[in-house]
Structure 1
Amino acid sequence: MSQTAHIPSHRKPRRSASKLALRAGVAGGVLSTIAVAGAAGPANAEPVTETIEMPTLGALDTGLASAVSASAEASQQEALDLSLQAQEKAALEKAAKDAKKAKAEADRKAEAEKAEKAEKARAEARERASRTQTRTTLSASSSDSSSSSGGDSSYDSGSEAPTGSAAAIVAFARAQVGDAYVSGGTGPNSWDCSGLVQAAYRQAGIDLPRVSSSQSSMGTSVSLSDLQPGDILYWGSRSGSYHVAIYVGGGNYVGAQNPSTGVVERSLDWDTPSGAVRIL
């Protein structure tokens, strides 16, 4: 066994080279500053007696740690800000995209509704043109019948054949079948009951009062079993009728019934009138 084996070592622990260099640098810098100051001062300057306390390595380590921590927090906050900005940008882009899509859908629906309305208007115009042409043809036929010497015209609904003024009245009334019923309507495409009767008689050059009760009070009363085309049918009392229509022959009449049916041709059995008057 070695004789020095139990002798404890008095050698101080070896410090790391980096720490020794740091301490040496700090101490050297301080001493150099003092030396320069002394050399620059006056020759008779008093010796420096003030003790200068040099920073320790512990204080330097604490400051460095604080700086690193602050830098890390700043980097984390910057990353958070960038993330929020990215989320806001994505939300704005999505909102703009949704708004553009909604506008496109609204424009598409508006165009579809516009096209549908235009097609409906064209269909109504074609229907009106067709009715006008039919009325013109019937009016011409009625005029021919009126100017003849009372010759019969064909009538496929019964044995009676309207002639003269009656033919013009019946032709006009039948030409309005399918038109709408509107209270107070006097044509050309919508009627109420007395407005249609008044307009039909005007084709024969006869002016009638406007309301049904006055129309049924004119002319002479006739039996429902002795009707002729052109007679005015009424519902209610003769002087207080609430509805009128025109007998067109063959047991049928034409009248502006109500808003749900409009102008129709019906059998007397469908709604038997209260009476009739003859003006022709």
Structure 2
Amino acid sequence: MSQTAPIRSHRKPRQSASKLALRAGVAGGVLSTIAVAGAAAPATAEPLTEKTLEMPTLGSLGADLASAVSASAEASQQEALDQSLAAQENAALQKAAKDAKKAKAEADRKAEAEKAEKARAEAQERASRTAARTTLSAKSSSSSGSVASSSSSSQVATGSAAAIVAFARAQVGDAYVMGGTGPNSWDCSGLVQAAYRQAGIDLPRISGDQSSRGTAVSLSNLQPGDILYWGSRSGSYHVAIYVGGGKYVGAQNPSTGVVERDLDWDPPSGAVRIL
């Protein structure tokens, strides 16, 4: 090896001035950034400390679960109770409607039965009156002689009988109204009661009670003021006042009103004397 040969140096080759300047500029910029960040940070920044997270205990979890279960059970029980009450109300409404329908049907049935019974009673009463009139007509033919003899004789009312006869005759022409007691409309017993009141005598309101008073007299021995009746004495359906001369005054029916008629026009069943 030649002693004059160059020996390779182990030193790094020097960097050029431009590269050194570039590196110096980068380092300066980094340091400036760190300095600015440090100045901007709050002076009172709290140091980081270690914090421990608190975990719920098993006891609190169990209590919360029990409370939730209890609330759910109460809600279910309340819902069941509400449903039961609603079902009971429904059943009560249905029962009330059924009972009302049944009561209405029963009321309608009773009304129909009463209507039919009333019609039957009226038919029986009409039949009874027809039969009574037929019987009276048969009797009148046999007793026409006695009635005629009584009618032919002249009879003059006196005293209380005169007041009764005068009142009865004064009402001839008035209307007949069932239940009428005057002064311009009458039924048969209402007229007889009002006429007897003129003589100071109070009679019952019903024809059957009026014909039950006094003493029974025959149709051949009538006197003015006697009460004539049709039907049985205790169950008469019509009354009138004998006014003498074979005539009587009575409130007959809605068609005729108060009239004066001969005994032969509608022969009575009997007579009673109260004076």
By relative contact order (CA 8 Å, sep 6+), the higher-ranking structure is 2
Asked if TM exceeds 0.5, the reply is: no
After TM superposition, the score normalised by the length of structure 1 is 0.44
Find the structure with the greater CA-based Rg.
2
After TM superposition, the score normalised by the length of structure 2 is 0.45
